[in-house]
Amino acid sequence: MSQLLARGGRRLEGEVAVQGAKNSVLPILAATLLTGDQVELRGCPRLRDVDASIRILETLGCTARWEGTSLVVDTAGLKGWVISDVLMREMRSSAIFLGAILARCGRAEISYPGGCELGPRPIDLHLSGLRTLGTEIQESGGVLRCEAPRLSGECVVLSLPSVGATENLMLAACGAEGTTTIVGAALEPEILDLQNFLNACGAKVSGAGTSTVSIEGKRPLHGCSYEIMPDRVAAATYLCALAAAGGDIYLRRAREEHFAAVTAALREAGCEIEDDGQGIRCACNRRLQRVRPVRTAPYPGFPTDAQAVLMAALLRSQGATVFEETIFENRYRHVDELIRMGADIRTAGRVAVVAGVDRLHGAPVRCTDLRGGAALCVAALAAEGETAVGEISHIDRGYEDIARDLQALGADISRLDQ
């Protein structure tokens, strides 16, 4: 099993280009089904979740090939509408393919995606919205059989701003007669990236980034060449690594507007951060201070995906910081691993209290999930001695090469493929 070996104590100096966003490219890969054409995705990150999406596209009769840092997808050959249980289990967000398959084929069959390491991951909002657009859904034996011979544009109200439900409904709505309005849509920047991609393919989508998204259905869509937005969670991860280790770094392509709640917390902790329009410079040359309670929330609130890495950055801060994880039920699985490194963290349900300690020590630790694994790497850069991070396949789901990027920023970290 591969692992990462990191030694702390070194200040970070350097610059790196931020990879394309995992949470943007996954729905866009599903959206390529709508075009029945060739699509070039520039700056597509090479991730395990992208590989899983490619396998789904190929199972459905489509093709995908890498051309340098671009992924070229051709969905003209789409002939299937079933995503197998094996593929659904590989990546929980495979449910995002449902809307696009329905729009193109009029039917779809997927196994229930079920939960993941973060806790239950229901898709009831996806399904109720698809029913509103005219989809018949039979659930039996863990399989969802969906029939939508004719999708019709309607007003769909989301009871909570689900990112995946918003994206799924945007894609299904492209195949509906008339206009669909999604009220209570998620505001995340990845929703706007999806809208921009769809419009580049000839769609007419508006309102992304606000709570009301409108989609004019049944427009003839075509392929395009599109650059994936930078990954704001990867950028947040590397800023937290800087905060943990100290130094002065530059992240090319990062845009502060995508994660201002994170940069606000890091500034409060004592980092200097500047977005020059091409990227973000971050410097920190003193012990971090505790910050006001961090409560995760839908965008533009503090992103749940950055909770673990900010926690790791604050392990040696002056004072204590309170975290409240409001989005997922089980997103503190990295805490026990951080405690093995000397962290002082207490959790009670959705609340975690991080009391800063003077020193952390390297230890053998293992990833429990994607962002928890990234947090272990951040903490390792602030620990004395060596940390061996195991189970790094979790990290590979969302980071192209976390060791490569942190090395570019001056960290002493390397990957050991065994």
Among 180, 263, 304, 317, binds ligand EPZ (CB under 6 A): 304
Q: What value, to the nearest 5°, has the Cα angle with vertex 11 and ends 406 and 305?
A: 45
Give which of 94, 101, 164, 180 is closest to 137, Cα–Cα.
Answer: 101
By CB under 6 A, residue 125 contacts ligand EPZ: yes
Token couple for 7: 């030694």
By CB under 6 A, residue 163 contacts ligand EPZ: yes
Window of 50-58, 120-128, 332-340, 383-391 that interacts with ligand EPZ by CB under 6 A? 120-128
Among 86, 157, 160, 183, binds ligand EPZ (CB under 6 A): 160
Window of 116-124, 172-180, 317-325, 372-380 that interacts with ligand EPZ by CB under 6 A? 116-124
Among 123, 191, 228, 377, binds ligand EPZ (CB under 6 A): 123
> To the nearest whole angstrom, how small is the minimum distance from the Cβ of residue 398 to ligand EPZ?
5
Decide if 244 contacts 357 (C-beta within 8 A): no
Taking the C-alpha atoms of residue 196 and residue 203, their distance in angstroms, rounded to an integer, is: 9
Choosing from 44, 116, 146, 155, the catalytic residue is: 116
Window of 9-17, 155-163, 222-230, 410-418 that interacts with ligand EPZ by CB under 6 A? 155-163
By CB under 6 A, residue 165 contacts ligand EPZ: yes
By CB under 6 A, residue 162 contacts ligand EPZ: yes
> To the nearest whole angstrom, how small is the minimum distance from the Cβ of residue 28 to ligand EPZ?
11
Give, as ranges, the residues between 22 and 51 that touch ligand EPZ (CB under 6 A). 22-23, 26
Give the x-and-dash track for 361-380 against ligand EPZ (CB under 6 A). ---------xx---------
Alpha-carbon distances, residue 192 vs 167, 188, 196, 219, 296 (angstroms): 10, 7, 6, 19, 21
Taking the C-alpha atoms of residue 241 and residue 378, their distance in angstroms, rounded to an integer, is: 5
Q: Which is nearer to ligand EPZ, 104 or 126 (CB)?
A: 126
Give, as ranges, the residues between 223 and 252 that touch ligand EPZ (CB under 6 A). 233
**Nearest residue to ligand EPZ, by Cβ distance, number only:** 164
> To the nearest whole angstrom, how small is the minimum distance from the Cβ of residue 295 to ligand EPZ?
14
> To the nearest whole angstrom, how small is the minimum distance from the Cβ of residue 402 to ligand EPZ?
13
> To the nearest whole angstrom, how small is the minimum distance from the Cβ of residue 283 to ligand EPZ?
27
Alpha-carbon distances, residue 203 vs 38, 173, 281 (angstroms): 16, 10, 36
Window of 161-169, 241-249, 314-322, 405-413 that interacts with ligand EPZ by CB under 6 A? 161-169
Give, as ranges, the residues between 48 and 107 that touch ligand EPZ (CB under 6 A). 93
Strand order in the sheet with 212-216: 155-157, 179-183, 212-216, 204-206
Decide if 216 contacts 204 (C-beta within 8 A): yes
In degrees rounded to 5, what are phi and psi of residue 287? -65, 135
Q: Which is nearer to ligand EPZ, 45 or 246 (CB)?
A: 45
How many chain residues touch ligand EPZ (CB under 6 A)? 24
Q: Which is nearer to ligand EPZ, 122 or 184 (CB)?
A: 122
Packing angle, helices 22-31 and 163-173, rounded to 10: 20
Q: Which is nearer to ligand EPZ, 186 or 363 (CB)?
A: 186
Token couple for 242: 């800087």
For residue 300, cis peptide bond before it (omega within 30 degrees of 0): yes
Give the x-and-dash track for 322-341 against ligand EPZ (CB under 6 A). -----xx-------------
Window of 74-82, 119-127, 130-138, 271-279 that interacts with ligand EPZ by CB under 6 A? 119-127
Taking the C-alpha atoms of residue 250 and residue 254, their distance in angstroms, rounded to an integer, is: 9
Reply yes or no on whether 116 is catalytic: yes
Q: Which is nearer to ligand EPZ, 186 or 203 (CB)?
A: 186
Q: Which is nearer to ligand EPZ, 99 or 246 (CB)?
A: 99
Q: Would you name the residues annotated as active-site residues?
A: 116
Residues that bind ligand EPZ (CB under 6 A): 22-23, 26, 93, 121-126, 160, 162-165, 186, 233, 304-305, 327-328, 370-371, 398
